[in-house]
Chains A and B, each alone.
Chain A
Amino acid sequence: MSLSEIREEYRSVRIGPKILSEVRNSVHQVCRRYDPQIYGRAASWDDAEEDLVQAVVLDLLLQEGQLDYLMARSVQLEDFQNLLRFQVKRYLARQRQRSVVDNLLDRSKELLQTGAFQSSGKGQAARYSLAGAAIEGREPTEEEVAAAARSVALVPRIRFAERERAPTVYTRENLETLLQAVGISLPAGFSLHDLARILELVLTDWVVGFLYDFEGAQVEPSAGLNPEETTMVEAAAREIVEQCTPEHLLVLRRKLENLPDQAIADELGVSRPTVIARKKEAYERMRGALEDLPEHVQAAVVDRLAAHLATFSGGGRL
């Protein structure tokens, strides 16, 4: 098979036996590396492989136009084959992400029934908000969803491996924090669909690691802390929050959300030099609380603080 033959087929019938054969080869090469129950929802790939071929062709190559992307970029047959294998991985990652998000939604439904939240409507139309909040009868704006995703990105996650069947991703406590962060960011209330969108925006680094075969370098801060270290984490995080003014905490939060200094200055109604001064002050307070701690404990403190900041909207104690 040559790229010329692939190109000729693409121009004449779009997808014919040659391209289909390449898809089958790529699917076979890629999927066998992964657990069929997790990624194929089947007992074995023998049962699921053809479904995967069809899905890659119909959903990705045709419906999402990825075949055109592949043809535009390919200069050698090897390029086409590499790009095709990447598409197969994209499909597998997407399936996996959906099931992880679905699990989180199931867990969230339970937490959203607690007193911290209120709901209206039923089924697909159900909307949730923080208890006592006045729900505006509208859909959240794109800007609000993006802001919610930035807040949720601060909530610490538990790294999961591609082989893990039912990853936790968030501890119960952090999932509650996440839902509160969403409630604060979306004053119009939110549906499970909105929550799913936010989770998909946030769970990107796992997907990237899977797609590009990067080994994670993630520190898992809270896992493996002994009771003494857990106490140190709580104490250090509390010390930082108590020493920082609300302005410091808001500046910290916005910097962790990667907003530029001028945008923070505009939000606070102060000058940019003032924001820079607040950053320095906040950093000194953090450094003071962290510098004598072991690195894994420092990381847990930062995670604890980030979780607090995710729901911080000015004032409040840890």
Chain B
Amino acid sequence: MGIPKDLAFRLFGYSFGSWFWVSNDQSVDAAKLIHWSAESGSHPFVLVAEYDGGPVATVRPRSTSNKTGILHAAHPAAHVSTCKIEREGWILPMLWSLGPEAICADNYSCQEPYEEIAEKLKKGTAR
């Protein structure tokens, strides 16, 4: 990585409440070749703390079928062009650590637009 890109990472990172669609093989440690889902595909994750460009980002996953956690409406249609949160779902209570390869522009979806949801995430509300 060139120095300016390294700096950009350090300077900008991503804010709390940013959503990313992370493929299953990026969600777990590549070196250990452990996949918590054998299936291909991806899951949405939201940053629950600011990501500062360092080695770890703390996130929570979202599901459209698992009804535990914070009920989360689909994002408004005119939200941002990259938004992929198009169906109602639940922000699950599990915490997870992602590496920087998962938190990238290619995976970026959008910023959480609902204030009430952001408040719940900030407090670490489970449901």
Contacts and interface: CB of A to CB of B under 8 A. Distances in A.
Chains A and B in contact, CB within 8 Å: yes
Interface of A: 252, 255-256, 258, 260-261, 279, 282-283, 286-287, 290-291, 295, 298-299, 302
B52 A260 contact: yes
Contact of A279 (B2, B4, B11, B52): B11
Contact of A261 (B2, B7, B50, B54): B50
A38 B72 CA distance: 59
Contacts of B50: 260-261
Contacts of B54: 258
Contacts of B87: none
Given A283-B7, A283-B11, A286-B7, A298 B2 contact: yes
A290 B11 contact: no
Quick one: which of B7, B10, B50 has the most chain A CB within 10 A? B7
B52 A290 contact: no
Interface of B: 2-4, 7-8, 10-12, 15, 50, 52, 54
B4 A298 contact: yes
B10 A256 contact: yes
B11 A298 contact: no
Is the contact region of chain B dominated by helix, strand, or loop, or is it mixed? helix
Contacts of B12: 279, 283
B27 to A, nearest CB: 24
A283 B3 CA distance: 12
B48 to A, nearest CB: 13
Contacts of B8: 283
A258 B10 CA distance: 8
A256 B12 CA distance: 11
A151 to B, nearest CB: 16
30 contacts: A252-B11, A255-B10, A255-B11, A256-B10, A258-B10, A258-B54, A260-B50, A260-B52, A261-B15, A279-B11, A279-B12, A282-B11, A283-B7, A283-B8, A283-B11, A283-B12, A286-B4, A286-B7, A287-B4, A290-B3, A290-B4, A291-B4, A295-B2, A295-B3, A298-B2, A298-B3, A298-B4, A299-B3, A302-B3, A302-B7
A291 B8 CA distance: 13
Contacts of A279: 11-12
